[in-house]
């Protein structure tokens, strides 16, 4: 047995004047236990607790530790992850298995050295005993490298990347997540780099693995490069690299990547540059939206930042960056700009309007010594979909002079810019208020205005009653955290009035930031008489997103356009998205798409087709990244200008979409194009979907 039980380590609490954060266990015996390059992560959130890969001084190896938020202490779980002191690590928790990639590291600017294996150890987790057990240990490569990062794709394969021999290298396991293949260089010529460059991988998409690397060869091709691999393709089949930023001194070998999974192709990279002028950016936030990268200054050269990481707080919809800055006034070496360290500060920004001010907030300060090398998790914070609901934030850093860990814990995950204080609301129910003729087999659903804490949405806070009798039922949230479904344990009684209740207040349902539903939400409905078919229910849904793409402008997004183009020559394809998450388990009798032609009609016909990939976004879709159109469910045309059309859709094609998002695409077999009104013209002309349920 690897698990020996927990040992709570005594620590020195943060008490000295000027300290911020908490001093933790000793890491005497290893020099840089949190790593030095920011591609790696040392923490993860699992089963309601934070965990870390920390050095254990007593046993002289790295162990799994559990963080006690109530006492702000670390407990040794007794499970070794690496016995080598001169190692750095990248930790990935995928919801079922813990992956710890360990590598002997070379100092900055030195070449990779052979005959030093980099390993990946995999651990299972037992929630009953809250313990980890080793499943396997395999070698990723046979090199000592400056940094190495890992991530897992949608097929179960784990990817790794590093720099070796002045090339960006990769390796990947089989779908078992264990068996590594043969390392290979990225196939592009631009993956020829300097000895001081590094790389990082990140799963995004869905269905893609991205790699970013720095290129510092001292010419105009310098920068930060991005390429991706489609899951399931040949290992060496990577897209042509694009420069997220380019130009001399625009890149350095520090990067930290995150993916906002609810957005499809939105990736964020916190990077360091090599600029030297005071007003130039020294750390930046690079944002990928679809196929386009944008750069946003986090801090300038004059602010002297270093070793930056980025985290996404889904509850507050903020990007939170953390880096080493000069120490604050009143502390030893205050204001000193040095590569030895300083203090850990935060700067944050809203996701939908990225802008970092010069103001920053101290998170970890040792008044007497330098703090450096902040690390955290690969996971997004406070995300029900990623298993981090109510996680808050945990940072870990090291003080080399005293060989001590330091940490900062924020239980709310507020983000330094004002946390989420808005109470959630119920925006829709099924059955609707006062519905009659409801099928006795129906589930009851409630749609919330934001993602909810799954620990609070449960039997007891979401109930169904017939008179004074409570119906035995299960309650579950969907993957978005917004739709709760109450599934009765047996068919409901016929011709009976039921009351559904969602409890509010401190004992009721709460969002991920801990804000409760302000007051109880209750509604009634009546089931169909015995032997009756029930009264049909009709709902009208306005498109949640719409846009079109154009073959003549392959990288242009038209999400804010008031028109939706459909044409064969030049090619224009319209995309529509509707939210059907509240209608899981319903019986669909009919579906009609309502559209309005704009300033011109068409003598030709247009095809309405299903789109399986719902990851596209209104502000990100372009011709280049457009999802593939599937089966046709209707046709439209010929049409005239400024006219409303109701297009019946094939019910069988839509039935499988209930309970999730529905994407539709419109293309044309005619070069006489059609312009439709988008939702940006107002609700009257917006595309709508009319559904009738039996």
Residue 481 pLDDT class (50, 70, 90 cuts)? confident
3-state secondary structure 131-199: EEEEEEEEEEEEEEECCCEEEECCCCCEEEEEEECCEEEEEEECCCCCCECCCEECCCHHHECCCCCCE
pTM over 0.85: no
Identify the pLDDT of residue 655: 80
Instruction: Report all structural domains of the chain as residue ranges with CATH numbers, in order of start.
Output: 7-410 (2.120.10.10), 426-532 (2.60.40.1220), 539-693 (2.60.120)
Q: Residue 162: which region, alpha, beta or left (left: phi > 0; alpha: psi -120 to 50)?
A: beta
Weakest-pLDDT range from 225-239, 445-459, 563-577: 445-459
Q: Is the pLDDT of residue 160 over 80?
A: yes
Contact 122, 177 (CB under 8 A): yes
pLDDT digits (tens, 9 = 90+) for 197-251: 999 999 998 899 999 999 999 888 999 999 999 999 999 999 999 999 999 999 9
Cα separation of 562 and 262, whole Å? Answer: 25
Contact 597, 674 (CB under 8 A): yes
Q: Give me the residues paired with residue 429 across strands.
A: 446
Identify the pLDDT of residue 656: 81
Between the alpha carbon of residue 681 and those of residues 266, 508, 549, 615, 687, the distances in Å are 27, 39, 18, 24, 10
Say whether the peptide bond before residue 69 is cis (omega within 30 degrees of 0). no
Weakest-pLDDT range from 26-35, 78-87, 336-345, 351-360: 351-360
Task: Provide the edge-to-edge strand list for the sheet that holds 255-259.
Answer: 255-259, 267-272, 281-289, 292-300
With a pLDDT cut of 70, the percent of the chain lying above it is 95
Contact 444, 474 (CB under 8 A): no
Q: Give the pair of three-digit tokens for residue 404.
A: 């001590």
pLDDT digits (tens, 9 = 90+) for 534-551: 567 888 999 999 999 999
Helix/strand number for the chain, H first, E second: 1, 49
Residue 9 pLDDT class (50, 70, 90 cuts)? very low
Contact 511, 452 (CB under 8 A): yes
Q: What is the mean pLDDT of the chain?
A: 91
Across 306-432, where does the E strand assignment appear? 306-313, 318-325, 343-350, 361-364, 372-375, 393-399, 404-410, 426-430
Contact 268, 287 (CB under 8 A): yes
Radius of gyration of the chain (CA): 27
With a pLDDT cut of 90, the percent of the chain lying above it is 72
The single residue listed with the structure tokens 């236990």 is: 33
Identify the pLDDT of residue 660: 86
Weakest-pLDDT range from 317-326, 397-406, 646-655: 646-655
Say whether the peptide bond before residue 577 is cis (omega within 30 degrees of 0). no
Length of the chain: 694
Determine how many CB atoms are found less than 10 A away from the CB of residue 10. Answer: 7
Q: Is the pLDDT of residue 385 over 80?
A: no
Tell how strand 281-289 and strand 292-300 pair up.
antiparallel
């Amino acid at each position: 047995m690897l698990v020996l039980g927990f040992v709570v380590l005594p620590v020195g609490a943060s008490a000295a004047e000027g300290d911020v954060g908490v001093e933790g266990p000793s890491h005497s015996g290893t020099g840089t236990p949190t790593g030095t390059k920011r591609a790696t992560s040392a923490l993860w959130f699992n089963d309601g607790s934070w965990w870390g890969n920390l050095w254990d001084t007593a046993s002289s190896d790295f162990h799994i530790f559990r963080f006690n938020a109530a006492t702000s202490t670390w407990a040794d779980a007794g499970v070794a992850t690496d016995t080598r002191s001169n190692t750095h690590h990248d930790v990935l928790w995928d919801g079922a298995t813990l992956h710890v990639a360990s590598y002997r590291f070379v100092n900055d600017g030195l070449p990779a050295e052979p005959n030093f294996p980099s390993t990946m150890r995999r651990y299972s987790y037992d929630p009953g005993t809250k313990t980890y057990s080793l499943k396997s240990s395999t070698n990723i490569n046979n090199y000592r490298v400056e940094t190495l990062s890992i991530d897992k794709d949608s097929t179960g394969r784990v990817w790794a990347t590093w720099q070796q021999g002045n090339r960006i290298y990769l390796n990947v396991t089989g779908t078992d997540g264990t068996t590594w293949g043969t390392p290979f260089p990225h196939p592009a010529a631009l993956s020829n780099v300097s000895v001081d460059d590094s790389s990082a991988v990140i799963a995004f998409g869905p269905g893609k693995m991205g790699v970013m690397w720095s290129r510092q060869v001292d010419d105009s091709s310098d920068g930060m490069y991005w390429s991706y691999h489609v899951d399931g393709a040949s290992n060496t089949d990577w897209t042509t690299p694009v420069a997220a930023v380019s130009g001399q001194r625009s890149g350095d070998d520090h990067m930290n990547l995150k993916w906002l999974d609810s957005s499809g192709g939105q990736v964020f990279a916190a990077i360091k540059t090599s600029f030297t002028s005071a007003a130039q950016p020294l750390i930046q936030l690079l944002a990928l939206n679809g196929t386009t990268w944008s750069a946003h200054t986090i801090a300038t050269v004059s602010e002297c930042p270093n070793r930056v990481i980025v985290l996404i707080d889904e509850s507050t919809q903020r990007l939170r960056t953390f880096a080493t800055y000069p120490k604050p006034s009143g502390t030893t070496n205050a204001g000193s700009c040095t590569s030895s360290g300083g203090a850990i500060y935060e700067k944050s920004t809203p996701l939908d309007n990225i802008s970092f001010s010069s103001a920053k907030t101290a998170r970890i300060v040792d008044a007497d010594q330098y703090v450096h090398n902040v690390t955290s998790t690969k996971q997004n914070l406070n995300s029900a979909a990623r298993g981090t609901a109510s996680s808050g934030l945990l940072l870990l850093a090291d003080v080399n002079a005293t060989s001590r860990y330091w940490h900062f814990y924020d239980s709310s995950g507020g983000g330094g810019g004002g946390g989420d204080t808005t109470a959630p609301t119920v925006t829709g129910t099924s059955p609707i208020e006062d519905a009659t003729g409801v099928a006795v087999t129906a589930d009851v659903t409630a749609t919330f205005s934001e993602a909810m804490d799954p620990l609070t949405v449960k039997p007891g806070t979401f109930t169904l009653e017939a008179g004074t009798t409570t119906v035995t039922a299960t309650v579950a949230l969907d993957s978005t955290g917004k739709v709760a479904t109450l599934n009765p344990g047996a068919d409901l009684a016929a011709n009976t009035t039921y009351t559904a209740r969602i409890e509010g207040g401190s004992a009721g349902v709460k969002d991920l930031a801990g804000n409760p539903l302000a007051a109880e939400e209750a509604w009634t409905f009546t089931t169909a008489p015995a032997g009756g078919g029930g009264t049909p229910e009709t709902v009208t849904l306005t498109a949640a997103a719409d846009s079109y793409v154009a073959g003549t402008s392959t990288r242009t997004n038209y999400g804010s356009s008031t028109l939706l183009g459909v044409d064969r020559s030049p090619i224009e394809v319209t995309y529509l998205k509707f939210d059907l998450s509240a209608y899981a388990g319903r019986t669909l009798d009919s579906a009609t798409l309502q559209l309005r032609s704009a300033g011109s009609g068409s003598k030709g016909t247009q095809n309405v087709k299903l789109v399986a990939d719902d990851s596209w976004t209104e502000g990100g879709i372009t011709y280049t990244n457009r999802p593939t159109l599937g089966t046709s469910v209707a046709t439209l045309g010929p049409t005239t200008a400024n006219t409303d059309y109701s297009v019946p859709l094939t019910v069988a094609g839509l039935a499988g979409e209930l309970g999730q998002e529905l994407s539709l695409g419109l293309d044309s077999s005619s070069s006489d194009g059609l312009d439709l009104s988008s939702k940006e013209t107002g609700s009257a002309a917006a595309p709508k979907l009319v559904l009738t349920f039996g």
